[in-house]
Amino acid sequence: MPTSPRPAMPERTSASPLRRAATGLVAVAVTIALIRALVLQSFVVPTGSMEPTVQIGDRVLVSRFSYLTSDVQRGDVIVFNGAGVFDPLDDGPDTLLAGLGRALATVFSMPVGSRDYVKRVIGVSGDRVVCCDAEGRLTVNGTPVDEPYLAEGNAPSDVKFDIEVPEGRLWVMGDHRSESADSRAYLGAPGGGTVPVDHVVGKVMGIYWPMSRVGGLDNGGGR
């Protein structure tokens, strides 16, 4: 008795190189995103605005976990996103590819663009920060701030100001005051130069390169 021919089985084809590459990139992006979201981020410092604490070319580790369990404190050295504060709010579309590129760059401690800044927190929500008292010192809520981290020969500020930090924002300054474009440079902008707390990437925990400068940072000044 004749039998019907069996239907041809579809040939198995291996995934194309392009698909495999795309899958690999997605896996890398997800892994990097998890690391960035939960643990540490790495930055290379391109300017001298935080000298001598952090110098040009230093590679720093930034903890994203620190502020999940505590609030930002005066004296903390932080990295924050300056978009809409120190930079224009919209500098072009933020594509998936651009985001992946920034994530990969950060893992290898490359500069990730002009949006990210390293500064020291001088005032937190509700603080009144004033420059300067009769002795030329910054005051926070009427108390002079001891600033041993300032660059040699720098005054606390050559710009006079008197600001109350709005709720949910921070007043930040560089340790190399004469070379730092910080909150003082944006006094006339919305928010008076203060940075939203939700723009904070994390707390700078220490320098891991070059070897001659490996160590933690003093995050206690300015309290």
H or E, element range at 102: helix 96-107
CB 40 within 8 A of CB 208: no
**33 is a domain residue:** no
E strand spans, 25-94: 40-44, 59-63, 77-81
Per-chain mean pLDDT for the chain = 83
Query: Is 63 within the bounds of a domain?
Result: yes
- Residue 37, in any domain of the structure: no
pLDDT at 57 over 70: yes
Active site residue 119: yes
112: confidence class by pLDDT, cuts 50, 70, 90: very low
Q: Is residue 21 part of a domain?
A: no
In this structure, is residue 106 part of a structural domain? no
Question: What is the 8-class DSSP label of residue 51?
Answer: T
Q: pLDDT tens digit string along 193-204?
A: 999 999 999 999
- Averaged pLDDT for residues 98-103: 54
Domain assignment present for residue 185? The answer is yes
Predicted structure pTM score: 0.76
Q: Would you tell me the crossing angle of helices 96-107 and 17-38 to the nearest 10 degrees?
A: 60
Residue with more model confidence, 16 or 124:
124
Q: Is 49 a catalytic residue?
A: yes
SS3 58: coil
Q: List the catalytic residue out of 119, 180, 183, 203.
A: 119
- Could you give the 3-state DSSP secondary structure of residue 186? helix
Number of domains in the chain: 1
- Answer whether residue 143 is part of any domain: yes
Could you tell me the pLDDT band of residue 219, with boundaries at 50, 70 and 90? confident
Catalytic residue among 42, 49, 109, 183: 49
Domain holding 165, by residue range, is 46-90+114-216
* Residue 14 maps to a domain: no
- Give the CATH number for residue 137: 2.10.109.10
Structure-block tokens of residue 140: 């926070």
